[in-house]
Amino acid sequence: MKNFLVHDKETTKQMCEFIGINTTEDLFKQIPQNARMRDLKLEDGLSEMETQRKVKQLAKNNKSDYICFMGGGIYNKFIPACIAQVANRFEFNTAYTPYQPEISQGTLQVMYEFQTMICRLTGMDISNATVYDGGSACAESILMACRIQKKYKVCVLNSLNPEYKKVIKTYTHPQGIEVDWVDEIPQDTSQYACVLVQTPNYYGEILTPEKHDDCLLVVCTDVSTLSILKPPSEYGADIVVGDIQTLGIPMNFGGPSAGFIACREKFMRQLPGRLAGRTVDAEGNQAFCLTIQTREQHIKREKATSNICSNQALIGLCATLYLSVMGEEGFYQAGYLSTLMAHKLAKQLSEKGIKVKNNNFFNEFVIEVENSDKFLEKLRANNILGGIKLNEREILVAATEMITEEDIISYIEAI
């Protein structure tokens, strides 16, 4: 039982001195006070069983039954129960991100199947086996485009997810890459390595960017929208990136999630991350292996396509399971219901006198109200998370297949 004994005061003091702090409380200075858990006010000397009972009673005070109309990159989607059951099997547990040559055939096959599914959805020739998230996928695609074009200036539409913008700025600044943030793609793009467009964009609007021959077209997309919308390959995308949270990943307070990068075959050797391939072994049996290993752990650092990107194999597994379980018909149905409910809500809001600012959207749109805070607070009082405040008068509203007709009625009645 020695492993369960707490550190005594002297040991704790020595550990704090070693890392340069006064008390263990200093470890949490960066966390705002309003985000910390308040004192639970538990009695001293409680047994573990008694403590669990007390904490469960306190947990009942939490409000967790809100109807969710929030989006902005993280969505409340239906997740079949079998996904967690399979993904949580001990065979998929690992102490480190799986990239070593000795990865099991099962994990390698999951990566391969994930890549195949992403290619089918986007229309691209090849995909990697995930990166950290959608933001890092956007940033890595810019670095990739600059290497291919040997230009170090890019054009990014302002309607990109604000979090993705921050990641791009973090990546490009030390690389000396100039980023032009624009509202519309200029006619002359010859100075750019790429143009990056998100569709549907952060505000829900569906865009169909024009492909220019003098630079690459990078499209950031939510893959769940491709259940209905045409793949980016059909309007000339060279690289397609995005986040896969909508493919069977819980919201989890905003993460973790995973991203992907897919591209045309001729750009394969500039694709960052891990790629799994399928071959045959010495006995002629199907076998999977890592291939085109352009990461700094595998080749000379100066020749690596990325020194920071990693994969999210477990999240990729969940996405692969989700697409397998839902199938083409179920995947389409989820997308159709999301679109249907969003447009029904938008119509009823318009009839209520609230301005809907989008003309062409999938499942997310912007509304204009007199006061965003009061509008959202009124909904919150009725156990409804009504959307994301963009500014004092605009709110981003999303609907998924989890929204019902009754939920829409509740939203309209609450305002």
Cβ atoms of residues 177 and 142 within 8 Å: yes
pLDDT exceeds cutoff 80 at 91: no
Q: Return d(Cα 127, Cα 122) in angstroms, integer.
A: 9
pLDDT of residue 299: 61
246 DSSP assignment: T
Q: What is the pLDDT of residues 316-372, one digit of tens each?
A: 999 999 999 999 999 999 999 999 999 999 999 999 999 999 989 999 999 999 999
Q: What percent of the chain has pLDDT over 90?
A: 72
Report strand pairing: 153-157 vs 194-198.
parallel
Q: What is the pLDDT of residues 272-283, one digit of tens each?
A: 888 889 999 899
Cβ atoms of residues 394 and 386 within 8 Å: no
102 band by pLDDT with thresholds 50, 70 and 90: low
pLDDT of residue 96: 62
Q: What is the pLDDT of residues 328-340, one digit of tens each?
A: 999 999 999 999 9
Nearest to 113 by CA among 322, 330, 354: 322
Please compute the mean of the pLDDT values over residues 105-131 and round it to a whole number.
94
Cβ atoms of residues 132 and 312 within 8 Å: yes
**N-term to C-term CA, the chain:** 57
Cβ atoms of residues 398 and 342 within 8 Å: yes
Strand-pairing partners, residue 178, are 153
Whose tokens are 């960017």? That residue is 209
pLDDT of residue 98: 60
Across 43-57, 99-113, 203-217, 229-243, least confident range: 99-113
The domains found in the chain, sorted by start residue, are: 67-78+327-414 (3.90.1150.10), 81-321 (3.40.640.10)
Q: What is the pLDDT of residues 160-183, one digit of tens each?
A: 999 999 999 999 999 999 999 999
E strands along 134-191, which residues? 153-157, 178-182
Strand-pairing partners, residue 280, are 286
Whose tokens are 């947990």? That residue is 59
Total-model pTM = 0.86
Q: Return d(Cα 129, Cα 240) in angstroms, integer.
A: 14
SS3 288: strand
Structure tokens at 14: 């020595």
Backbone angles phi, psi at 356, to 5 degrees: -100, 120
Q: What percent of the chain has pLDDT over 70?
A: 93
pLDDT exceeds cutoff 50 at 1: no
Do you know the residue count of the chain? 415
